Amino acid sequence: MRLIRRAAWAAIAILGFLVVGTATGWLVTDGPLGTREDRLPAIGGPFSLTDHRGKPVTERDFLGKPTAVFFGFTSCPDVCPTTLARMGAHIDALGPQADRINWLLISVDHERDTPRSMAEYMTLFDPRIVGLSGTEHQVARAAESFQVQYRRVPLEGGGYTMDHSASVFLLDAEGRFAGTLDYEERQDVAEEKLKLLLARSPDSSKVRRGLF
């Protein structure tokens, strides 16, 4: 009986480990392009938003290339601009290869972020980064697709800020979760992950030319 109880506790511990591990992404141990995506909770999925040029887009518009996507908002004081500046540094480091990745910011602040405010904000960063915004419902749906948590936090003296998760999600060319770039990640480690993502994604321009 005691053995059974011990086995039950061990099972619960392992389950907890798996839940926490998959939720935080560090169980994708075989590199950023873990092959276990079928067993992971789905990260990456349907969304319907508007890009900062005013064009309606869905997740299907970004298939065919791997994607690096970050959730944030234009009034963010530090995490978002830092992350977007780092994205710009990755783009510079990758050179022409950077064009083979979709670089996205999805706003979690539906009240303030419109295609117009996103367009203005995106001028501060690499022009290849595309800002997406949407209605309350569209933003909630997109965040749900990536299991992103965000929260409106009223500020003393008026106004509000948004709490939001700070990871950059990596998706392969078919839209499957392929890992994260974490906020504290070293630049060289992040760039290795991006290179690996590219190495495992066929070059779509070559696919079109029939080289694959």
Minimum CB–partner distance for residue 72 and Ni ion (Å): 4
Cα–Cα distance measured from residue 2 to residue 210, given in angstroms and rounded to the nearest whole number: 63
Minimum CB–partner distance for residue 169 and Ni ion (Å): 15
With binding defined as CB under 5 A, does residue 79 bind Ni ion? yes
Cα–Cα distance measured from residue 115 to residue 134, given in angstroms and rounded to the nearest whole number: 8
Minimum CB–partner distance for residue 1 and Ni ion (Å): 52
Among 43, 76, 122, 139, binds Ni ion (CB under 5 A): 76
9 Cβ contact partners less than 8 Å away, ≥ 6 residues apart = none
Among 80, 139, 190, 194, binds Ni ion (CB under 5 A): 80
Q: Which amino acid is at 30?
A: D
Q: Which amino acid is at 9?
A: W
In the bound state with Ni ion, the residue whose beta carbon lies nearer, of 79 and 140, is: 79
Token duo for residue 151: 């929260």
**Candidates 67-75, 88-96, 107-115, 173-181 — which segment interacts with Ni ion by CB under 5 A?**
67-75
Minimum CB–partner distance for residue 155 and Ni ion (Å): 14
Cα–Cα distance measured from residue 135 to residue 109, given in angstroms and rounded to the nearest whole number: 9
